[in-house]
Amino acid sequence: MELSINISGQASNQRDENVRKWKAESFPPQIPRDDDPKKMMDEKLYKYAEEDKFDELFGELRRVSSAELSSIIYTQVSPSGNSLLHVSASNGSKQVTELLLQHFPLLMMRKNFHDDTALHLAAGAGQLGTTTVLINEAKGHGGASHFPNFVEMKNDRGNTALHDAVINRHHEVACFLVSESLKLSYSENNERKSPLYLAVENSDEKMLTTLMDTIRDDVDLLNKLEGKSPVHAAVQGRKRTILEQIAKKKPGLLRRKDEKGENPLHCAAYMGYVWETQFLFNEYRDGAIQQNDEGNMPIHVASKKGYVDVVDAYISKWTDPAEFLNSKRQNILHVAAERGRHRVVKYILRNKNLEALINKQDLDGNTPLHLASKNGGSIATFTLVRNSMVMKDKANGENLTPYEVAKKQSKMVGAEFSGEPIPNGKDNNVDPKSDSNGEKPQTKDKPDHGVGNQDGPDDRKGGKGKLDYYGVMMTLSILHFWAGHKTSKVEYFRIKSRPLPKEEIKGRIDSLLVVAVLIAGVTFSGILQLPQNADQPESGPSNITTTNSTQNQGISAKNEGILRNVYIYFDMVALNAAVMASIILCWAQLYDVKVAAHAVWLASILTGGAIYLMCLAFVFAVAIDVGNSFAFFVVTLVVGGALFLVQTVLSAPLIIPPNANQIIERIASPYLYFVFFICYCAFEWLLFKFSNRSKNKEELQQTKSC
């Protein structure tokens, strides 16, 4: 044992002696040139630097010429652009690193192809020894005259050496770097992440403790911290232990806001996290009344997102929730109704302590029912309008009731849906060009306050976007029955006819002409090849017995002839109707637009009738073909009769004049869209039950795992 110790000690002493010898050596001064092309490093030299074989490495360097030495040190690099110093520092080759820094100090500031210095690679690899050597040399014993510039250098991802140490969970290296430069702990990278943020993101509690313990209490961390808030990261990742750790050691960070002006309470409300909301409210009570850049408090954000439990958590902490008003003077019922969050609306309506919110008006004079009507939140509107305490006829700042708001919105959405110019109004002096970029046309004389789809494109940005056509129309149908004005039956017949543009008439003529010609061709070929029973035997004395047997099983030859005659009649009428429609459409192009419009209507009737009769002829053709089987024959007639009724209903609009169609549409549309609404409610309920069931399973699994 003693012999082994002596041998080891002798080897160590010899190694130290060799290091001192190489330190005493001198090499010709080298001036690097950045414009010199890079060359592939000699693999042998790479191995020497990697394995800390300084005798072999510097022996090779001593034997080369001055020009070749400059090439080896400053021009030859690894495939990643690493110099010999990068290689030795990243592999913990302490002696090689010391010698390279002494003889070639300018290597310290050299970067590889990814802008990493040797310090980046040493810290990222967790090499405390070489990291210490680099830092000590940079303090004045090497060639770096400005220590802060060196230690705070960033690579192409914006990471400092501390970022790389935190990412790779090297606690000792991180602690050493922070002790040398406190600024490193709160500097941001290209992703706006500080080392503190990365420690939270990685759920590295030990690293976070190391960083926070190193930062002195007199440091104004709230104002000096760059980039994203680590508290927001803890909230989003539901890292409760880390959240408690930050609140205990650095409570000032709880006041940190993100780029949208939101504090951690806003973040917890947006995510719908109840425990985090309650914890942050207890630790940072003042944050509950702070507004983000959109002017919303955390409770408004929770209401917009539809998180009933989070809203309830805030209401339980304050006796008068009516005082929670955003910059538009909107309470939580306003924002819930505006976004169509019907579960929050239902919760508020059922809470007797919140009755004061029901009919409050915002800056524009809108009640929650106005905003639900304007936004097209059909279920939220249905929930509000059926409540006896909701004032359904209250006018807003534009002297419009909720029903009138919904009616105006239906005109706007109808214009958007059909591509027509959007009608102007008192608050709808809109620019149609704004529709081209995917945003809802906005008013000129006042800001838009969140007209959008049921759930909105982004609940933290005001929800600006195109109106949801079916949502608006379902909302109008609901208000028609529960909050609509009592109108005279005569109003249904007051229709303003709109002349069709010349281009639209021309398009209809071209389309109808193609259809009419095709029908004429199909019906003509149907006459040339008449249908017959495929199994009907040929007539003759030798087939009398077989014929009688077939007739007993299916239709007789006489009945088959009657069916064929009916088929011929329908086919002939369809052919002539299609031909007449084609002729009318041809001469319609020769006359005035007003005459052409009537000609198009007449041609539509003839073309629709031809299609109608052609389908009937097809039913009889099928009946003839399956005539050998009485069962199939009956099924064909029953199915054909049912389709006949459907086709009759569908053909009615072609016969009725356009103005009459508008009257029917005006009368029937509220009922039609209310049926759509019932189906939508059923689908939404099933979807909620399914998602709630999946959520409960996930929470149960998380509880078992904990």
- Residue 464's pLDDT is what? 46
* pLDDT digit string, tens, across residues 486-511: 665 555 555 555 566 677 777 778 88
Q: For residue 643, give every residue at least 6 positions away whose Cβ sits within 8 Å of its Cβ, in sequence order, or none.
A: 615, 619
**In degrees, to the nearest 5, what angle opens at C-alpha 397 toward C-alphas 392 and 403?**
30
User: In this model, does residue 447 exceed pLDDT 60?
Assistant: no
Q: What is the pLDDT of residue 82?
A: 94
H or E segment and range at residue 76: strand 76-77
At 296, the amino acid letter reads N
The pLDDT value given to residue 358: 94
Q: How confident is the model at residue 301 (pLDDT cuts 50, 70, 90)?
A: very high
pLDDT (0 to 100) of residue 433 = 35
Give the pLDDT score at 688: 78
Q: Where in the chain is the domain with CATH 1.25.40.20?
A: 257-327
Give mean pLDDT, residues 519-543: 65
Mean pLDDT of the chain: 81
If pLDDT is split at 50, 70 and 90, which confidence band does 78 have?
very high
Place of tokens 């259809």: 515
pLDDT of residue 483: 85
Q: What percent of the chain has pLDDT over 90?
A: 41
Cα–Cα distances (Å) from 562 to 16, 555, 567, 622, in that order, read: 118, 11, 9, 14
Q: Give the model's pLDDT for residue 445.
A: 39
Lowest mean pLDDT among 386-400, 428-442, 540-554: 428-442
- Could you give the 3-state DSSP secondary structure of residue 480? helix
Amino acid (1-letter code) at residue 323: E
Please tell me the distance from the alpha carbon of residue 391 to that of residue 661, in angstroms, as a whole number.
35
- Give the pair of three-digit tokens for residue 25: 């050596």
144: which residues sit within 8 A by CB, 6+ positions away? Answer: 105, 108, 109, 137, 138, 150
CB-based contact 119:134 (threshold 8 Å): yes
Q: Cα–Cα distance between 461 and 456 in angstroms, integer?
A: 9
Give the pLDDT confidence score for residue 467 in this predicted structure. Answer: 67
Q: Which of 257-271, 406-420, 638-652 has the highest mean pLDDT?
A: 257-271
Three-state SS at 22 = helix
pLDDT above 60 (res 452): no
Strand, helix or coil for residue 77: strand
Is residue 331 within 8 A of residue 359, CB to CB? The reply is no
pLDDT of 471 above 80: yes
Long-range contacts of 401-404 (CB under 8 A, 24+ apart): 401/483, 402/367, 402/369, 402/370, 402/372, 402/373, 402/479, 402/483, 403/373, 403/476, 403/479, 403/480, 403/483, 403/484, 403/485
Architecture of the domain spanning 257-327: Alpha Horseshoe (1.25)
Rounded to an integer, the average pLDDT of 537-560 is: 50
Whether the predicted pLDDT of 117 surpasses 50: yes
Lowest average pLDDT, out of 35-49, 350-364, 678-692, goes to: 678-692
Q: Residue 312: what pLDDT? A: 94
Scanning the structure block, which residue is given the tokens 């939270």? 200
For residue 320, give every residue at least 6 positions away whose Cβ sits within 8 Å of its Cβ, in sequence order, or none. none
Q: What is the pLDDT of residues 15-24, one digit of tens each?
A: 778 878 887 7
Rounded (5°) CA angle 469-475-476:
90
Tens-place pLDDT, residues 586-624: 877 776 666 777 788 788 888 888 887 888 888 778 777
Q: What is the DSSP string of 188-213?
A: --TTS--HHHHHHHTT-HHHHHHHHH
| Model confidence pLDDT, tens digit, residues 635-681 | 877 887 787 788 777 766 666 666 666 666 677 788 888 888 898 88
Listed ranges 97-111, 355-369, 403-417, 521-535; the one with the highest mean pLDDT: 355-369
pLDDT (0 to 100) of residue 494:
58
| Range with lowest mean pLDDT among 34-38, 190-194, 225-229, 658-662 | 658-662
Backbone angles phi, psi at 684, to 5 degrees: -65, -40
Q: Which residue has the higher pLDDT, 574 or 624?
A: 574
Structure confidence at residue 495 (pLDDT): 57
- Percent of all residues in the chain with a pLDDT value above 70, rounded to a whole number: 79
Provide the H-helix boundaries in 25-144: 43-50, 54-63, 66-70, 84-90, 94-103, 118-124, 128-136
Predicted pLDDT of residue 441:
37
Least confident of 229-238, 546-555, 615-624: 546-555
**532 and 624 in contact (C-beta within 8 Å)?**
yes
Question: 444 pLDDT exceeds 60?
Answer: no
